[in-house]
Amino acid sequence: MLPFEIESAVVCDNVRLEASGKQILIGVYVGSIIIFQLPGNIALTLWLDTTPLKREKLQGEARVVSADGSAIAQGKFQFDTTSPRERVLALERIPMQIQRYGKIQFQLKMEGAEEWSTVKEMDVIPPPLPIVPQTTS
């Protein structure tokens, strides 16, 4: 179990921070991620709006799991929820190589935990086939 509730989970290309404190999500993926050629290299950002269950400094691991269950990206993160203003966890520009089409899962595991929690799933798909206009004779 994670020590925070996830209000929204967004996969995008990048996150920028404005001087006002607002965050700009760039290249938001909706429902699926199109990969034109396999294998395909991509860097994705996982942006989580959370409600911490208590105020503390957290450490954990994040990974991305492909359709066959193998980890295609993995790393550590820190999340300081001691300030009431801190509620966004952004894991930025996670590099990975996509080997096959299918679902990928973004998973988190807090320090000392046994099990991974899936926080977001996305379909990785090929581009749609081009539409060729039909000619009439």
Instruction: Write the pLDDT tens digit of every residue in 79-132.
Output: 999 987 789 999 999 999 999 999 999 999 999 999 999 999 999 999 987 767
What are the helix (H) ranges across the chain?
none
Q: Is residue 137 part of a domain?
A: no
Domain that residue 117 falls in: 4-125
Residue 33 maps to a domain: yes
Q: What is the CATH number of the domain that holds 104?
A: 2.60.40.2550
Give, as one character, the DSSP assignment of residue 109. Answer: E
Number of domains in the chain: 1
- Read off the pLDDT of each residue in 65-72 and give the average, rounded to a whole number: 94
Mean pLDDT of 24-53: 95
Q: How far apart, in whole angstroms, are the C-alpha atoms of residue 78 and residue 59?
A: 4
* pTM attached to this predicted model: 0.90
Asked whether residue 130 is assigned to any structural domain, the reply reads: no
With respect to residue 132, please indicate whether it lies within any of the assigned structural domains: no
Per DSSP, the chain holds a count of helices (H) and strands (E) of 0, 10
Tens of pLDDT, residues 123-134: 999 998 776 777
